[in-house]
Amino acid sequence: MADVREMSVEELAAIMEELGEPKFRAKQLHEWLHKHNVTDYDRMTNLSKALRQKLADRLPLQGAEAVTQERSQDGTRKYLLKLEDDTCVETVGMPIAFDDAAENVKRLTACVSSQAGCPMACSFCATGHEGFGRNLTASEIVDQVLTVQEDFNERVANVVIMGQGEPFLNYDNVLAALRRINTDSGLGIGARKITISTCGIIDGIKRFSEEPEQFRLAVSLHAARQKIRDQLVPKCANQPLDDLQEALISYNQQSGRRVTLEYMLIDGVNDSDADMDALAAFCEGINCHVNLIPLNQIASSDLRPSSKAVTKRWVQGLSAVMIPVSVRNSRGFDINGACGQLKEVSLTHL
Ligand code: SAH
């Protein structure tokens, strides 16, 4: 059945016409759905009772439901959301401290899934080990931000599409969701506060380069030597590093924006000096910032994080060749809510 929240104002206007209502009702309905995020027709008080009933019969309305919630010692909360067809996805809310003009403020970040499960099967990631479920709709993506916002009773300041799934394999729905999250007639979160993370789907990067909004891009690189990358991110073996590098340079030029390269340090796998040199060579010509990520160990893989000493050496080595670098402070490890720990959970496991 058609999802009313996926319909444009024009499509809603056609339905209003069929129901014998004036067209402007479509705009009112659209505002309730996307500006006020109402998931119950009875709260749409400027529509008549009769119309609300007709709409409820014709276009049933349902939001995502958080069926469980876990809280980390660091303030992070992880939600398991049940969707209309009982598919489940995980979403994470993180109050993160930012240094803002010498002031230490906490801002709420929502880490959002773009697919149920993931087809990429990366060796280090719990989501990939569970296989692929389905693409999420734009509404299902927006609902995740709303869930975090409502549960913390606080405005979400940053959105990262870094939960389950590969966003560029669900490009249209993800972009539609980002627009609703961004627009003033939606959640009104600034484009620069919204980041998509991809494992490196080149066609997606090319399309994304042409989008007019200032959304940010992060690429999960994890290795700058082809052979090692093919082991870690096997489904990207057909997306060669040379082509990826070229696409990122074009991205810089077309969008005028810097890209973040995420690089997870894995003990004895991708953390040698030769790996660092390869990364430095990859970065050449790209306006980028490298975000080193300590590997979070997951039960289904025996990969181990690099030592603190190695991480420090990488920070120093990359800084020495003028590559901006930082180390990600992963959150919510104690509730399996950290990077790479999100799993596809079906209700029968609860
Ligand atoms: N598919 C997209 C979106 C997922 S983002 C992507 O690959 O970017 C999730 C981030 O967590 C990615 O940077 C991913 O590489 C990283 N990640 C996955 N497993 C991890 C693990 N075990 N430890 C730390 N980071 C991990």
pLDDT in tens, the chain (350 residues): 578 998 999 999 999 999 999 999 999 999 999 888 888 899 999 999 999 999 999 998 877 888 889 999 989 999 999 998 899 999 999 998 765 555 666 899 999 999 999 999 999 998 888 899 999 999 999 999 999 999 999 999 999 999 999 999 999 999 999 999 999 888 999 999 999 999 999 999 999 999 999 999 999 999 999 999 999 999 999 999 999 999 999 999 999 999 999 999 999 999 999 999 999 999 999 999 999 999 998 888 899 999 999 999 999 999 999 999 999 877 888 888 888 888 755 444 43
Q: Do strands 288-294 and 325-327 pair parallel, antiparallel, or not at all (unpaired)?
A: parallel
**CB neighbour list of residue 274: distance below 8 Å, 6 or more residues apart:** 225
Look up residue 278 and give its two tokens.
């390869």
Q: Which domains, ranges and CATH numbers included, belong to the chain?
A: 4-58 (1.10.150.530), 66-349 (3.20.20.70)
Q: How far is the C-alpha of 266 from the C-alpha of 229, rounded, in Å?
A: 12
Residue nearest to atom 20 of ligand 1 (CA): 340
Contact call for residues 99 and 80 (beta carbons, < 8 A)? no
> Comparing C-alpha atoms, which of 340, 343, 327, 346 is closest to residue 122?
340
What is the Å distance from ligand 1's center to 336 Cα? 13
> Comparing C-alpha atoms, which of 277, 286, 256, 287 is closest to residue 321?
277
Q: Within 6 Å (CB) of ligand 1, which residues are found?
A: 124-125, 162, 166, 197-199, 220, 262, 264, 293, 295-296, 298, 339-340
Residue 97's φ and ψ, nearest 5 degrees, are -80, 130
Look up residue 327 and give its two tokens.
């180390």
What is the Å distance from ligand 1's center to 260 Cα? 13
Residue 238's φ and ψ, nearest 5 degrees, are -90, 10
Active-site residue 31, yes or no? no
pTM for the model stands at 0.92
Active-site residue 283, yes or no? no
**CB neighbour list of residue 122: distance below 8 Å, 6 or more residues apart:** 128, 199, 220, 232, 233, 234, 235
Residue of 111, 118, 283, 339 with catalytic role: 339
